[in-house]
Amino acid sequence: MIVKNNRELRALYDQLSGGDVFIGNLSLKYLKHTMLIDMNERGIRCLPSALAQVLNSSKVAQAFVLRNWMLPHTRVIARRTDLIEALNAYNQEDIGPVVTKQDSMHCGHGIRRWETMETLYSFVALDQSAYPFVLQPFQEQFVDVRIIIVEGYVEAYTRHNPYNFRVNITLGGTSSAYELSAQQAEFCRAVMQRGKFPYAHLDLMVLENDTCFLSEIALNGGIKGARISRQELDQKKMAVLEKLAVKSNI
């Protein structure tokens, strides 16, 4: 059986069994992880994959699983002890300004810059609601590139904001077309393979020496600045999922 939406999934949930397939992103926020584990244990396949859906909804999960593609010294801070250890390590490496990314916040709203680790510690060490978050060195100079990949369709464009280091277009940034190199495309595909993303919106930091690092990845990111329309993009994504569903349901 192939289930194609959340309403149908809820209605048929207890009847599903091994070999059945669910297409779509689970929309029940507080039950999402429970359902993904339960469906996996019962042999019900999710498309996009359970791993991709978890990574899509959590910057912290991305930093833990995909850290090999991110800026060096990227850390997940889940408790005060992690912050103290990071403080020691960053000071030892003489890392100055840092950036924190609040989990599950989008459009740049959860990104904060701190001039020193001591300043960061003073503000969040005793605030249990601040955890978990992602910690990274602040990178002054880089080109921010948004890449959309759906099978053979690949589109890339830069995002720039001279008045705000948060370059999201929704926060006042502008965009321009970007020619993705073969090495950068391979980098993106490797990230997608590790996270089991059937398609993706990826944000890359491209440094002056052309070295690139992953900022984040999503299943359904914004497309302001892209040539493709939302309708056409959604159709391409659904075609990929339906093809994978048929293949796995044979």
pLDDT for 250 beyond 60: no
Residue 164's identity, in one-letter code, is N
Residue 27 pLDDT more than 70? yes
Task: Identify the band that residue 222 occupies on the pLDDT scale cut at 50, 70 and 90.
Answer: confident
Span 73-105, pLDDT tens digits: 999 999 999 999 999 999 999 998 999 999 876
Segment 157-207, tens digit of pLDDT: 998 776 666 666 566 667 788 999 999 999 999 999 999 999 999 999 999
| Residue 169: predicted pLDDT | 59
Query: Residue 171: what pLDDT?
Result: 62
Q: Domain ranges for the chain, please list them.
A: 2-47, 72-137, 143-242
* Class of domain 143-242 as given by CATH: alpha beta
The Cα diameter of the chain in Å comes to 57
CATH 3.40.50.300 for the 72-137 domain, yes or no: no
Strands 212-218 and 111-114, by their bridges, are: unpaired
Q: What does the DSSP 8-state code read for residue 79?
A: S
pLDDT for res 190: 98
Of the pLDDT bands very low, low, confident and very high (cuts 50, 70, 90), residue 224 is confident
The enclosing H or E element of 114 equals strand 111-114
Asked if 61 and 132 touch (Cβ cutoff 8 Å), the reply is no
Is the pLDDT reported for residue 249 higher than 70? no
Q: Taking the model in full, what pTM does it have?
A: 0.91
Residues 158, 176 contacting (CB under 8 angstroms): yes
